[in-house]
Amino acid sequence: MAALPIASVTYGLQDPNPRVSGKGAAILREAGKQASLFGGLEVELEDLAEQFLLNMRSDRIFVALKVASSMDGQVAMADGESRWITGEAARAEVQYLRGCYDAVVTGMGTFSP
């Protein structure tokens, strides 16, 4: 970005990665660019970057679990017939979530304790 023909950059969070933390703004300033931290939305921005921030701050991975089951805890009919047990909105949300993660484990036989 320092080489681009721009005058200023506004960023929302400082990168917590110890290898680069704070260096980006310094590089921009050294190149004659204005670099400023945008304030006021810290909570929202931390929520947006939750997975990355958890990994950088605690050296842990972010794991999410989404389960769909019927009232009796099953995922299929008694005779084995498959039937949707979630609505269209829930299925659309699952597609969004799948795009947010690096790995997806799915299906009853994929994971067994």
Tens digits of residue pLDDT in 10-35: 999 988 888 888 799 999 999 999 99
CA dist 43 and 65 (Å) reads: 23
Closest CA to 98 of 90, 110, 87: 90
pLDDT per residue as tens digits for the range 34-69: 999 998 899 999 999 998 898 889 988 888 887 777
pTM for the model stands at 0.58
- Phi and psi at 11, nearest 5°, equal -125, 155
**Which residues fall within 8 angstroms of residue 40, CB to CB, at 6 or more apart?**
none
